[in-house]
Amino acid sequence: MNNSKQTVDKAAEKKKPMKPFSVHMNKDLQRRYRAEKWFQRSGIAAIVIALSFLLVLFASIIGSGYTAFRQTFVELDVHFNQDLFKNENIAAADYPAMIKDSLRRTFPEVKERRELKSLYMIVSPGAAFSLQDMIKENPRLIGTQQKVWVPANDDVDMLVKGQMKASEAEDNRRIKDDQLAWIEKLEKDGRLETRFNTTFFTSGDSREPELAGIWGAVKGSFYSLLITFLLSFPIGVAAAVYLEEFAPKNFWTDLIEVNINNLAAVPSIIFGLLGLAIFINFWGLPRSTPLVGGLVLTLMTLPVIIIAGRASLKSVPPSIREAALGIGASKMQMVTHHVLPLAMPGMLTGAIIGMARALGDTAPLLMIGMVAFIVDIPGGFTDAATALPVQIYLWADSAERAFTEKTSAAIIILLVFLICMNAAAVILRKKFETKW
């Protein structure tokens, strides 16, 4: 021992330059300050880089998506001609003919068949359905003349929003010169304007961009997440409580713990495959429904909730447990009366974050048939439905130019939901968390 100390001293002597103590200390201090500064700066740089990525992402999405919240409409003088309502069923009346008739009256100079066809292209094919809805609501309109604002075709919409340039050569535009002239005339007469796009928030999917909406997808996501929450939260909490408070510590519980941690890291498409094999092929549940979607997402979120639940149970100090047991509470009373209420905010936070992850995931839904074209808005757990991220995926794949802005708009909506959920998690934690 003595020997080794000597060698250390010798080595230190060799290294040490013979300088006054204060100078040496100053230099060392400066070096440490410098190192500290660099450390902090690199941290700040990392945050700045991350934030700038986020900013670019938000800017590009919002920049290309905000236009989707407005929609071009055209005003038509529609004559609800009595002759066209011969049929008993008012839904079967020839509404497209009424639209065509009013367009012909607006532009009486257009006579030729081909020209007429391109004239009709100015309004959306969905215009006829808005007339149908009007008549359904108020059959007394039959026989009258009404001013009706109907959605313009998606190409017209793109032109008005400046995403299709009138300065391009005619061959390169989907709106031809004659149509351009008609649109200009409509604009001059105040018969063409952009308004807030309510359709986008109230309708389901459509092949016509001007008629497509996200409500069907939002409801599909809602039903799926409701199932997910109702199943995964109680099961997750129960599992966490048992594992943390009651389970003996042995090989089997260790095995379970390892498996739960593993499951949390499994790619979500695997859960989709599992869902396909068990829920659809074995149990025979209907494809493409929020019921199956919710079950699959439950499998995906369960490990997350269990892990978060156990962590928040662990953070409840043992003194609480001991005090409860000490005054004669049973183990179950100790858990339900004291530990669980104290751990609840953390568990809810974990659940919300798990749900947010489930809201944004498409991969498992691919396998169970929720990536589908569904126009009707789902009314329950067993109606065919899609989900928000799936809707984004489907629109991103569509050829029509107008779907680009719809895609971005749907992403904005999804981001808003995600931000709300994550903010709720933060607020819950801040508000109810007990500091020990």
Partner 1 sequence: MNVKSIFLASALTMTLMTTGTAMAARDTISIVGSSTVYPFSTAVAEQFGKTGNFKTPKIESTGTGGGFKLFCGGVGVEFPDMTNASRAIKDSEKEKCVANGVKEIVEVKVGYDGIAIANAKTAAPLKLTRKELFMALAKEVPDPAKEGQLIANPYKTWKEINPELPDAAIEVLGPPPTSGTRDAFVEMVMVTGAEEFDFIKAMAKSDKDKFKAVSETVREDGAFIEAGENDNLIVQKLQANPKALGIFGFSFLDQNADKVQGSAIEGEVPTFEAISAGKYPVSRPLFFYVKKAHVDVIPGIKEFVAEFTNEKAWGPEGYLADKGLIPMPDAERKQVAEDVAAMKTL
Q: Which residues here bind partner 1, judged by CB under 8 A?
A: 91-92, 117, 121, 125, 129, 164-165, 168, 171-174, 206-208, 280, 283-288, 369, 371-376, 382, 384, 394, 396-401, 404
Minimum gap (Å) between residue 19 Cβ and partner 1: 60
Judged by beta carbon, residue 180 or residue 375, the one nearer partner 1 is 375
Q: Within 13 Å, how many C-alpha atoms sit on residue 354's CB side?
A: 31
Minimum gap (Å) between residue 328 Cβ and partner 1: 22
- The tokens of 161 are what? 């929003």
Judged by beta carbon, residue 69 or residue 381, the one nearer partner 1 is 381
271 backbone dihedrals φ, ψ, rounded to 5°: -65, -35
- The tokens of 288 are what? 């493409």
Judged by beta carbon, residue 81 or residue 163, the one nearer partner 1 is 163
Judged by beta carbon, residue 374 or residue 414, the one nearer partner 1 is 374
- Pairwise CA distance, residues 277 & 112, whole Å: 58
- Pairwise CA distance, residues 16 & 256, whole Å: 56
- Pairwise CA distance, residues 434 & 114, whole Å: 74
Q: Are strands 70-79 and 145-151 parallel, antiparallel or unpaired?
A: antiparallel
Minimum gap (Å) between residue 384 Cβ and partner 1: 5
Three-state DSSP at 77 gives strand
Minimum gap (Å) between residue 79 Cβ and partner 1: 21
- Pairwise CA distance, residues 405 & 71, whole Å: 11
Minimum gap (Å) between residue 77 Cβ and partner 1: 24
DSSP H/E element including 160: helix 154-160
Dihedral-angle region of residue 143 (phi above 0 means left; psi in -120 to 50 means alpha; beta otherwise): left
Three-state DSSP at 205 gives coil
Minimum gap (Å) between residue 152 Cβ and partner 1: 15
DSSP 242: I
Judged by beta carbon, residue 68 or residue 421, the one nearer partner 1 is 68
Minimum gap (Å) between residue 26 Cβ and partner 1: 55
What do you get for the CA distance between the two ends of the chain, in Å?
46
Select from 239, 347, 253, 360 the least CA-distant residue to 297: 360
Judged by beta carbon, residue 352 or residue 385, the one nearer partner 1 is 385
- The tokens of 314 are what? 């662990």
Minimum gap (Å) between residue 241 Cβ and partner 1: 14
Judged by beta carbon, residue 151 or residue 345, the one nearer partner 1 is 151
126 bridge partner residues: none
Judged by beta carbon, residue 376 or residue 433, the one nearer partner 1 is 376
